[in-house]
Amino acid sequence: MFGLEKKKETKNVLIVEDDALLAQVLSRVFTEEKFKVVNVMDGLEVMDVAKKMKPDIILLDLILPSLDGFGVLKLLKEDSVTQNIPVIIISNLEEVSDVKSAKVLGAEEYFIKANIQLDKILQFVKKRLKV
């Protein structure tokens, strides 16, 4: 309006993935779409990084060193600084009970790595963040 277009702000994505190759691929996909990406490989680092970075969304693996993704998700949702950050699970765990547990803990969506379609993850994140 009046020629003053609001500059589209860069969205921040925190990728929590201990598989270096997948973390690299996810980073590239989101960076190419103009997201600012930070990678964390260890469950114990997530809270510190999330509190400082305040990402717009978190992509979280469940099988991580030090603290698993279920523990990370529980901590994120219990902390007032991070509780409203949407969390998307990307995991090899495909049992219905794992999906259910993640959703109960507050995960918004659950993608199984064996069936991974990067474009679907990207589209879900873009739709969720309205970009």
CATH number at residue 91: 3.40.50.2300
User: Would you place residue 7 in the very low, low, confident or very high pLDDT band (cuts 50, 70, 90)?
Assistant: low
Q: Is residue 7 part of a domain?
A: no
Q: What is the mean pLDDT of residues 62-79?
A: 96
Percent of the chain whose pLDDT exceeds 90: 90
For tokens 């879900």, the residue is: 124
Domain extent for 106: 12-126
pLDDT band for position 8 (cuts 50, 70, 90) = low
Domain count, the chain: 1
Q: Which of 68, 109, 118, 62 is nearest to 88 (CA)?
A: 109
